[in-house]
Amino acid sequence: MNSEPKKSFIPDSALSIAGLTDYIQLLLEEDSVLRQVWVTGEVSSANNHRAGLFFTLRDTDGDASIKCIIWKSQIPKLAQMPTVGEQIIVLGSIRLYPARGEYQLSVWQAIPAGVGLQALRFQQLKNRLTAEGLFDEERKQPLPTHPQIIAVVTSPTAAAWGDIQKTLKSRYPGLQVLFSPATVQGEQAPNSIVKAIQRVEKDGRAEVLILGRGGGAVEELACFNDERVVRAIADCSIPIITGIGHQRDESLADLAADASVHTPTAAAEIVVPSLDDLYNQHCDRIAVLSEVVNDSVKTAQNKIQTLRNRLQRYQLDKQIEQEMQALAWKREKLVQAMNSKSQPAKQHLELLRQKLITLNPKAVLQRGYAVVRQENGIIARDADDLEIGEELLIQLGKGAAKVKVIEIEGNGE
């Protein structure tokens, strides 16, 4: 009989509990999927603790469940507070607790599932686009007052297209309408609407664009909350008016559009004026203008009559007659004064004229005297200044004669 004690068989690959737990923890917490995972389920239990909120999330159509925790510091950041019986979607990471050998989901965010999720996504997108300024009033363009060419984007088979055509024809006959068809429901709708808007903008003829669709369920109108559609509307250089068949909430497309109404028919009514309304407005303007003109004429007539009455009170005609008489009297006095001053002047002038006649050398010559000039033009006054043979110019009363000195007689001879 072998007296040696028996040795227990322990494989070299055997792990301790702690080692196994560490390995499982490493697998779970370092997995790229489990480090940030979205999980949906129904809240089956919830317990508030000073450290945070502990709750259990289970499948609605199965027995699977998972324990979850939201630490106290993270609770204010939640979009949806987990409540027993409600469907939610949570974002978190898997954590293992070695002491209990259990794993749980450490939750960072919780949002409502189903319709609630759509509402949250809508609000988040709206907030982001609002922050970018896509809905600012400063970006919106005014609608043209009297457009001649408009474009319509809607489904060719929808009743909205017929309503728009009928309304435009009745309100503004002769208007040119460009139709850019698009799918306005389903997964293909956003891309189809964007392309339809781009076709209109590339064409360049339309002065305004109607984006319309008839009524429908919330799911059917989801394309008008698509970010691609919203950006296409905001970036379009042509003014856009939306007429989408909803009565309560505005879509993001409505917020981005330059104008929005609740129906395609209302959009057609706003985009063009009614000729009947224009005619009535024209008649009203004529009536107002006539009244203004008549009032102006009456006012002018009253002013003229007032001035006429003032003129009559002032008796200007008599004042003018008196002034004219005064001017005539002053003129007569002026003439008399002039005559009294001019008569002595005339007499003095005549006396001077007679003196001039008397002193005029020609008058002396007319009486038989003559003027004798030497060759140098000097008047000869002394015979001693003359020489025999010198030529002299004798100026007579009429004409002159040249003579030659042949003899000189001295003074006193």
Rounded to whole angstroms, the Cα distance separating 335 from 124 reads 107
Q: Which residue has the higher pLDDT, 210 or 22?
A: 210
Q: What is the pLDDT of residue 366?
A: 66
Model confidence, pTM: 0.50
What is the average per-residue pLDDT within 300-322?
82
Q: What is the mean pLDDT of the chain?
A: 85
Report residue 14 as tokens. Answer: 């055997």
Q: What is the pLDDT of residue 390?
A: 81
Query: Between vectors from CA 181 to CA 177 and to CA 182, what angle results, nearest 5°?
Result: 140
Question: What string of DSSP letters covers 290-336?
Answer: HHHHHHHHHHHHHHHHHHHHHHHHHTHHHHHHHHHHHHHHHHHHHHH
How much of the chain, in percent, has pLDDT values that exceed 70? 90
| Of 37, 41, 40, nearest in space to 85 by CA | 41
- What confidence tens digit (pLDDT) does each residue in 141-170 have? 999 988 999 999 999 988 899 999 999 998
CB 244 within 8 A of CB 254: yes
Distances (CA, A) of 395 to 182, 187, 334, 406: 128, 138, 51, 19
Q: What pLDDT, on the 0 to 100 scale, is given for residue 354?
A: 80
What does DSSP assign to residue 49? E
The predicted pLDDT at position 341 comes to: 81
Q: Which two tokens stand for residue 231?
A: 């950006």
pLDDT category of residue 240 using cuts at 50, 70 and 90: very high
Identify which of 60, 117, 55 has the alpha carbon closest to the alpha carbon of residue 92: 55
The CA distance from 408 to 410, in Å, is 6
| Residue listed under structure tokens 């469940």 | 65
Residue 238's nearest CA partner among 325, 326, 144 is: 144
Write the burial class of residue 200 (CB in 10 Å: 0-12 exposed, 13-18 middle, 19+ buried): buried
Rounded CA Rg of the chain? 62
Select from 175, 179, 144, 174 the least CA-distant residue to 158.
179
Whether the predicted pLDDT of 224 surpasses 70: yes
With a cut of 70, say whether residue 397 has pLDDT above it. no
Mean pLDDT across the stretch 237-256? 85
Average pLDDT over residues 77-90: 88
Reported confidence tier of residue 413, pLDDT bands at 50, 70, 90: very low
Q: Residue 30 pLDDT > 80, yes or no?
A: yes
**CA distances (Å), origin 336, targets 90, 208, 242, 346:** 126, 91, 98, 15
pLDDT for res 365: 65
Half-sphere exposure of 162 (CA within 13 A, CB side): 3
State pLDDT tens for residues 99-133: 888 899 999 999 887 665 677 678 788 889 999 99
User: Domains of the chain by range and CATH?
Assistant: 17-113 (2.40.50.140), 135-273 (3.40.50.2300), 365-404 (no CATH)
